[in-house]
Amino acid sequence: MEEKQMLGKPRFKREDLVTFNFNIEGEIQKIDGVIYIVDAYGTFEQNEEPSYDIEALYKGEVTLFKHVRESEVSERGN
């Protein structure tokens, strides 16, 4: 059973290496990245769980993926 985190107690911290799911053009893709910003109390879009801004190499360019929900993020390699 997956442990659910309380708001304000994020599982990851800045500079952690992670893998995350992201919907790109209607397709869910797994992307490796680095936590850039931790939104411990969620965002204006959702306040149900922490979220992260994650920096990743995508299509040959460094890209910042914003507001990725914690439920879409795992440790790299898991």
Decide if pLDDT at 5 tops 60.
no
The CA-to-CA distance between both ends of the chain, in Å, stands at 15
Choice between 43 and 38, residue whose per-residue pLDDT is larger: 38
Is the CB of residue 49 less than 8 Å from the CB of residue 40? no
How far is Cα 53 from Cα 45, in angstroms, rounded to an integer? 13
* Residue 4 pLDDT > 60: no
Q: Is the pLDDT of residue 74 over 90?
A: yes
Query: Is the confidence at residue 7, as pLDDT, over 80?
Result: no
Higher pLDDT, 76 or 2: 76
Pull the structure tokens for residue 22: 């992201």
Q: Are 51 and 69 in contact (CB under 8 A)?
A: yes
What per-residue confidence (pLDDT) applies to 20? 97
Tell me: pLDDT of 24 over 90: no
The SS3 assignment for 36 reads strand
